[in-house]
Amino acid sequence: MSVEQVESRVLSYGHTACAGCGEALAARTVAEAAGRDVIMTNATGCLEVFTTRYPRSSWNVPWIHSLFENAASVASGIEVALKALGREGEAKVIAQAGDGGTADIGMGALSGMLERGHDILYICYDTEVYSNTGFQRSGLTPTDALTTTSPTGKLSWGNLTRKKDLPAIVAAHGAPYVATTSAGYPLDIDRKIKKALTFTGPSYVQIHCPCVPGWGVESNMGVKVARLAINCGLYPIFEMEDGRVVRVRKIKDDDRVPVDEYLKQQKRFAHLFKYPGGEEHIKEIQAIADANIEKYGLARGPLSVD
């Protein structure tokens, strides 16, 4: 690839992400969908680390590294500054963070951004774990998952809590556009990023991103595992406008799988198939998936998006 071809990309090749990284795939898709007329902020985390190791950067747009907790706050300051300068139409502001920097450490800053109504697209790369700092649990870690802070063994089945419903929390703040999508479906990411950028005010897109070492999957399995999460119902894909679900990605009958097909692909759930009593936990996880399918009407009719 020539220098000109590399420089034509918003997020260039040559970063240091793991082979098969779902977040890298998602971020590249986001960057190309958003285009060059953007200013990006990025919380501390995997995306920041693997794209900007000093003295190099893979970003070919204005990009600012913030602390773990304040990507939304820095983005808010940029958006206000553009307005003060009379230049708000020149660039869209995008804030980026992982699930830890969004659902936990950055929750207050995100809430403030939403409450004040800043014209910002916030993207959460949901790897369901603190990927960069050693695979600790986050507020978006699913039930029974193994992490370094929710170990498994004779006395523990892993993470005790359910995944936080962050899209609902964002929608409750009055955000005009909220969507979930997956690294397993790049065309869906592309469409939703472009759509989000047409709204005035805060918008939020949460992207499910397999973490190869954190989930314990082979590097060539990321996309397959991401799609299994959708097709078993554990990660519903939908869009909300003004607090109302307006579109969902339905599961074709031929594609629908039980949750154990998804769980058994990952070492973080291996204990559910190893220890006596694990089958009961799998049933509980299946109940979560079934509830999602019922809530969002995921199992009726053909796919509603590409």
The per-residue pLDDT for range 51-63, each reduced to its tens digit, is 998 888 999 999 9
Band of the pLDDT at 302, cuts 50, 70, 90? very low
Core vs surface per residue 213-250: b (16+ CB within 10 A) or e = ebbebeeebbbebbbbbbbbbbbbbbbbbeeebeebbb
Q: Is 186 a domain residue? A: yes
The confidence score (pLDDT) of residue 54 equals 84
Contacts of residue 276, Cβ cutoff 8 Å, sequence gap at least 6: none
Q: Count Cα neighbours of 182 within 13 Å in the Cβ-side half-sphere.
A: 23
Per the structure block, which two tokens stand in for 212?
A: 């190869």
Three-class secondary structure assignment of 222-273: HHHHHHHHHHCCCCCCEEEECCEEEEECCCCCCCCCCHHHHHCCCHHHCHHH
For residue 302, tell me if it sits in a domain.
no
Q: Is the pLDDT of residue 3 over 70?
A: no
Closest-CA residue to 140 (of 108, 103, 111, 183)? 103
- Residue 231 in any domain: the answer is yes
> Against a cut of 0.85, is the pTM above it?
yes
From the CB of residue 31, how many other CB atoms can be counted at a distance below 10 Å?
A: 25
What's the N-to-C CA distance of the chain in angstroms?
A: 29
Query: Mean pLDDT lowest for which of 108-117, 170-179, 294-303?
Result: 294-303
Where would I find the beta strands (DSSP E) of 114-251? 120-126, 152-153, 156-157, 177-182, 203-208, 238-241, 244-248
- H helices of 142-185, in order, are 166-172
Asked, for residue 280, whether it belongs to a domain, the answer is yes
Give the count of domains, the chain: 1
Could you tell me if residue 123 is inside a domain?
Answer: yes
Among 227-231, 272-276, 299-303, the least confident range:
299-303
Both tokens of residue 135? Answer: 């695979």
Domain coverage including residue 186 = 3-296
Q: pLDDT, tens digit, for every residue of 79-135?
A: 999 999 999 889 999 999 999 999 999 999 999 999 999 999 999 999 999 999 999
Sheet holding 203-208, edge to edge: 63-65, 38-42, 92-98, 120-126, 203-208, 177-182, 238-241, 244-248
Q: What is the pLDDT of residues 43-86, one digit of tens each?
A: 999 999 999 988 889 999 999 998 999 999 999 999 999 999 99
Distance of CA 155 to the CA centre of its chain: 31
Would you call 122 helix, strand, or coil by DSSP?
Answer: strand
> Parallel, antiparallel, or unpaired: how do β-strands 38-42 and 92-98 relate?
parallel
Do residues 211 and 23 make contact, with C-beta atoms less than 8 angstroms apart?
A: yes
pLDDT band (50, 70, 90) for residue 1: very low
Q: Is 304 contained in some domain?
A: no
Looking up residue 286, the CATH number of its domain turns out to be: 3.40.50.970
Contact status, residue 176 vs residue 201, Cβ threshold 8 Å? yes
Is residue 248 in some structural domain? yes
